[in-house]
Amino acid sequence: MKCKGCGYSLWNVPGRTCPECGRGFVPSEFEFRANAVEFCCPGCMQQYYGSDAQGLLVPRSFECVRCHARCELDSMILRAAPGVPDDAVELHRVAWEDPLIGGVVRRFFATVRDGMTRPSRIGDALRGDVVARKATWYAVSVLSVVAIPSAVGFVLLTLLSPMWGSGSTRSGGSALRMAVWESIGGACAVLASWYILGLVLLAFIAWMTALTLRMCGERVPWKVVWCSFSYALGPIVMVAVPCLGIYCGSIPLSMWWVAAACIILARAASVTAWKVIVSVLAPLVLLGAVVTALFAFVVFPPFSAAMTAAAQVGSANATTFGPPAPGDEAAESDAEIGLDESVPVDAVAPGQVDITDPITKDAP
């Protein structure tokens, strides 16, 4: 039991203020492992042991069996039970689940910080208690921090991109309405894909990890794995940092998450490091292989077929779009949309023909 202000040990302190910093405290604001703490009668030092979910006395107020004085939980003198190390009595809490830290924003960023810089602390907290529902809300919050800016960015990008082009071929009103609807639809898709993909992926990896751990002879509840993985998501918040996050940061931040997840899980489940590392990496490698196969055999062939078709249409009808920047997927897909819309002959502006690029790009 440490002072929440300065960290001073509050064992055997009869007063209700910290001797070091003067901060007030009461035993009931702490949580302990059951039977890890002795609660002593202030009159005769008769010991009692807390047995409820917070390791506190039940009932909170009673008559001392030795001196018959009235004992109140909050006025008793506390010390670690014999044989229990001082740092092993606290029921650590994940900041996200700790109402003493403050409001939801403070708790969120405290947990993000812990996930990034001291995951072992979260692991300790999970050793005492795991609440899958709270961890899930934390995961949803992290995904929101990442998804909402990217959805807003998508709306802005789709609304502003026609202005960067060499001029719209449509009349203002309908084009704007189209663009707004397209961008809202796109933003919803971005949001949904972040939430669904994020949670489903996380659940799948957690499930696979629990399975692999079992194959290694460690029976770790799925709930513990899920909470460990969710509370390790702190580094992923950095994806929301404009420009830096999603383009440069995805891979290092994901690796950071993997490292944090391994540390938390090893602590929370008391499993040796190598088993945890193997169990976390195995599903990721499998997932990577599946995604690569999916792209190679399912996504890419229709995409390249569509590009070829677009190029053929482009050569049949002279079109107005500029050459897409090489290697820029967004520009390519925009160009493709522009191409489909500008198929009617009245949309063609003479003298701006540029069809060489798509052909050379798709030439085998």
Interacting residues toward Zn ion by CB under 5 A: 3, 5-6, 8, 18, 20-21, 23, 41, 43-44, 46, 64, 66-67
- Give the length of the chain: 364
Q: Cβ 25 to Zn ion, closest distance in Å?
A: 8
CB-nearer residue toward Zn ion: 3 or 263: 3
Q: 41 or 77, CB closer to Zn ion? A: 41
Min CB(43)–Zn ion separation in Å: 4
Q: How far is the CB of 1 from Zn ion (least distance, A)?
A: 11
**Looking at the DSSP assignment, which residues form a beta bridge with residue 48?**
39
Q: Supply the minimum distance, in Å, between the C-beta of residue 55 and Zn ion.
A: 21
Q: How far is CA 273 from CA 130, 229, 265, 267, 279, in A?
A: 20, 15, 9, 9, 10
Query: Nearer to Zn ion by C-beta: 40 or 264?
Result: 40
Residue 105 identity (one-letter amino acid): V
Tell me the CA distances in angstroms from 300 to 224, 288, 289, 343, one per residue in order. 38, 16, 15, 24
Minimum distance between the CB of residue 18 and Zn ion, rounded to whole angstroms?
3
Quote the DSSP letter at residue 139.
H
Smallest gap, in angstroms, from Cβ of residue 47 to Zn ion? Answer: 10
- In the complex with Zn ion, the residue whose CB is nearer, 8 or 195, is 8
Contacts 24+ apart (CB under 8 A), 182-186: 182/158, 183/154, 183/155, 183/157, 183/158, 183/159, 184/155, 186/154, 186/155, 186/158
Q: Which is nearer to Zn ion, 20 or 129 (CB)?
A: 20
CA distances from 302 to 91, 246, 296 (A): 55, 26, 11
Residue 67 or 355 with smaller CB distance to Zn ion: 67
Query: Phi, psi at residue 40, to the nearest 5°?
Result: -105, 140
Residue 113, Cβ density class (10 Å: 0-12 exposed, 13-18 middle, ≥19 buried): middle
